[in-house]
Amino acid sequence: MGVRQAYSYITGSGYLIEKEREVKLILAALIARGHVLIEGVPGVAKTTIAKTIARTLSLDFKRVQMTPDLLPMDIIGYKIFDQKTAEFKFVKGPIFTNILLVDEINRASPRTQSALLEAMQERQVTIEGDTFRLDEPFIVLATQNPIEMEGVFPLPEAQLDRFLVKIETGYPSTKGFVEMLKKVDEIEAWVEAIKPVVTKEEVLNEIRSARDVKVDEAVYQYIASLVEETRRHHAVRLGASPRSGIAVLRMAKAVAYLEGRNYVIPDDVKQVLAPTLSHRIILKPEYEVEGLTASRVVEEIANRVPVPRP
Amino acid sequence: MTRGVMVFLALLYVSMSAVASAQALETYRHTPGFTGFSLSDWQEIISSLQSGNLSASEAQKAASTIGTLINQTSQLGVSSSSLNQSLEALYSYFHLSSGNYTESDILNALSLLNNTDVKNMLTSLFFSYMFENRSVSDSDILSALERIETLWRQGKLTPSDYALALKLLSILARSEGYTYLSDRLDSESMRVAADALKAVTSQLPNLIPPNLGQPQTPTSGVKIGGLPSAAFPLLSYLSIPEGLQTIVLVATVVATSILLSYLAPRLVSKVSALWSPTARRVKKLVAYAGRWGEAVEYYWRAVARIERATGVRLSPSNTHREYYNAVKSALGGLSPSFGRLTEIYEARRYAGDSRRDLDEEARRLYGDLVAKL
């Protein structure tokens, strides 16, 4: 139980309408100790999902709205001279939390983005020679608007690689939208009234347990084939790296764990493939111009590479 | 447009073309070239010829009919060169018999004669008469007649050539005022012409029905035109009454399309169910699956069975759960059994779960599927 219980609680509540996939991937990324980049237009429940997960897991939650004039110290913290003690005192930035929602990450300057992404990777910050460990568990849920073109600093490919998964979230279906409109007041009240169903310690234990999920030799081969296929695809300029394969493996294990299994099956690999690989491969410009997306390429590869038999 | 529809249209076109081709060959039987008058008129013409009393109007009708026959046999491609020559000679014979002819018609008739001796002899006589203004004596005519009759008896003349030659001699005799000779030649030529017509009849049994007294009712002979004809050129030979042809064609196409669109998927499913790629590989798979125990083996046997029963195949890139979801609705009440068998397979295959009771459960589930599929 634990994170699995939280997953069942959130999806079973019926308030996060048509967001089961997003919740599952975020929880899997938490278990896999990764960070999540959520790409979607404003107003598609990104903050609500983050808040709900934080409250359900009894984790600290902070939100930072990125702007071009935001400085690295506004995220990671700074030292200030305390006249009473005649010493420098460290004031922690919002990064010292368990779940950090970074809204519109591509609006921050490259300098601030870089400081944040480095902290995400190292899970620690160093200021004037002093190193401070970040809290565990720690997950960054960064959002970006795919439509915004002006006044933004797109994340370079190397920085994108810091995110374990990229989730593309969109509008609900008409049916889901109508249901949401009917429940709008209830949803707000429900999010505010959520009681934690898991303690922080339980989450940490589960992160450790998920590492023991068994992976068969054939599944390792399957992951390798899928990743290598991205390098052979005619529309791909730069295929997925070995680190991408590791990301697929970690996410597949986490998903298997969330689904109550202690072994990975090819379905786990397939369902995490697009979120883990689509932001790590670069398409040839001529195909991009034609409207081909990395997600579609990954999907095509998943539908081509044979699943382990027998 | 789906491949099925394309195949269907192609098949429809081939079938309609086959029907049209068959009808094209049948057309002359149904429309034997008696435009404007009936078979009984034709019979009357033959009777008149046999009795030697062919009137000018009857000769005109006969010429017109033979002209139509020449056109039809040419269009349908059913005429041989000898038949065509006979028809041409007979046309010329009746045209001259109608009395409405010119010098060029006579020259044309001379050119139609096949036998060179007869052609030269008659040409020489007509040249003397027409261009040299020399009179032709009755002895010259009788001498020519004798020669022609000798050739006829020797079988060197066709009936139509013989009739035409006699007719030409008759014209010459009449022009020179030898009426008695001309009448005799006319009478003889008519008898021979009747034989020539019968010879043509024997060569075109379908064109002129042998039972002349009871003519078949010919189809109105209206050809399909317009859009259907443009789409299916061969359909222009189909003989369907004008008011019905488009309705019949459209109704046939719609009804056949509906029927095929209903039957084709079922047929394809039934046919494909007979062939299961997994079944072909099952021996190999089972042999290899033995490494993971009976449960995995039963799973593959079940997949082969389900492929045959549902026609839904497990493609190489399909996961086992994807396949289960694909066949769930087709399996109906059996889907929980196959779902559980899939779980057992996964546990054994990917987790190495070696519990004996999994094998037993897999065997039971497989038995359940086989019994009820």
Give the residue from chain B lying closest to A302, CA to CA. Answer: B317
Res. B202: pLDDT tops 70: no
Q: Per residue in B192-204, is it b (16+ CB within 10 Å) or e — as a string?
A: bbbbbbeebbebb
Pick from B286, B321, B351: CB nearest A267: B321
Determine the Cα–Cα distance for residues A169 and A45; give it in Å rounded to an integer: 9
Residue A23 CA to residue A36 CA, distance in Å, equals 11
pLDDT at B346 (0 to 100) = 92
pLDDT (0 to 100) of residue A36:
92
Residue from the list A265, A302, A309 with its beta carbon closest to the beta carbon of B350: A265
A-chain CB neighbours of B342 within 8 Å are none
Rounded-to-integer distance, Cα A277 and Cα B219, Å:
73
Which residue of chain A comes nearest to B316, CA vs CA?
A: A306
| ipTM field | 0.86
Per-residue buried b or exposed e for A76-101, using 16+ beta carbons within 10 Å of the residue's own CB: bbbeeeeeeeeeeeeeebbbbbbbbb
Tokens (6 digits) for A169: 């979230």
Confidence category of residue B201, pLDDT binned at 50, 70, 90: low
- Higher-pLDDT residue of B37 and B273 is B273
Å between A284 CA and nearest CA of chain B: 25
Question: Chain B residue closest to A270 (CA)?
Answer: B319
Contact B350 A267 (CB under 8 A): no
Q: What is the pLDDT of residues A39-72, one digit of tens each?
A: 888 888 888 888 888 888 888 888 899 988 989 8
Entry field: residues in chain B: 373
> Which residues of B make CB contacts under 8 Å with A?
285-286, 288-289, 292, 296, 300, 316-322, 346-347, 349-352
- In chain B, what residues touch A262 (CB-CB under 8 Å)? 351
pLDDT of residue A166: 93
**Is the pLDDT score of A246 beyond 90?**
yes
Query: Average pLDDT, stretch B305-318?
Result: 88
Q: Which two tokens stand for residue A232?
A: 């052979």
Say how far apart CA A121 and CA B66 lie, in whole Å: 102
Can you read off the two tokens belonging to residue B321?
A: 């759960």
- Residue among A227, A231, A236 at smallest CA distance from A284: A236
Least confident of A8-12, A19-23, B259-263, B365-369: B259-263
Question: Which chain B residues touch A214 with a CB distance below 8 Å?
Answer: 350-352
pLDDT at B341 over 80: yes
Distance between start and end Cα atoms, chain B: 35
Q: Phi first, then psi: what are they for A65, rounded to 5°?
A: -95, 115
Query: Please, which pLDDT band fits residue B39 given cuts at 50, 70 and 90?
Result: low
Q: Residue A289 contacts by C-beta under 8 Å, 6 or more apart in sequence?
A: none
Would the CA dihedral through B159, B165, B166, B171 be positive or negative? positive
pLDDT digits (tens, 9 = 90+) for A285-296: 999 898 899 999
CA distances to A276, B24, B97 from A221, in Å = 17, 66, 99
Q: How far is it, in rounded angstroms, from Cα B210 to Cα B214?
A: 9
**CA-based end-to-end distance of chain A:** 32
State whether residue A219 sits within 8 Å of chain B by CB. Answer: yes
| B65-91 pLDDT tens trace | 788 777 767 766 656 777 888 888 999
DSSP state of A147: S
Rounded to a whole number, what is the distance in Å from the CA of A131 to chain B's nearest CA? 42
State the number of CA atoms in the 13 A half-sphere of A139 facing the CB: 31
- For the record, the structure tokens of B244 come out as 């019905």
> Is pLDDT at A274 greater than 80 in this prediction?
yes
- Quote the CA–CA distance of A107 and A105 in Å, as a whole number: 5
Q: Judge: A267–B322 Cβ closer than 8 Å, yes or no.
A: yes
> Which pLDDT tens digit goes with each residue over A183-241?
888 888 888 888 888 888 888 998 999 999 999 999 999 999 999 999 999 999 999 99
Q: Of A102-111, A146-155, A263-272, B152-161, which one has max mean pLDDT?
A: A263-272
Write out the two tokens for A73: 């110290």
| Cα–Cα nearest to B328, from B343, B315, B312, B316 | B312
Smallest CA–CA distance, residue A127 to chain B, in Å, is: 46
Q: What is the pLDDT of residue B212?
A: 40
As a whole number, mean pLDDT of residues B195-201 equals 78
What structural domains does chain A harbor? 3-203 (3.40.50.300), 212-302 (1.10.8.80)
Name the band, by pLDDT with cuts 50, 70 and 90, for residue B221. very low
Q: Identify the band that residue B241 occupies on the pLDDT scale cut at 50, 70 and 90.
A: low
B213, pLDDT greater than 50: no
Structure token digits, residue B203: 């060569």
pLDDT of res. A233: 93
User: A98-102, A271-275, B284-288 — which one is most confidently predicted on average?
Assistant: A271-275
Minimal Cα distance from A218: which residue of B? B350
B186: closest CA among B168, B159, B199, B160?
B168
CA–CA separation, B147 and B8 (whole Å): 67
Place of tokens 């480095």: A118
Is the model more confident about A233 or about B283? Answer: A233
Angle between helices A174-182 and A184-193 (to 10 degrees): 70
Is A216 in CB contact (< 8 Å) with chain B?
yes
Residue B367 to chain A, least CA–CA distance (Å): 20
Lowest mean pLDDT among A232-241, B137-146, B197-206: B197-206
Strand partners, A79: A90
Average pLDDT score, chain B:
77
Tell me which of B201 and B199 has the higher pLDDT.
B199
The span from the CA of A245 to the CA of A299, in Å, is 16
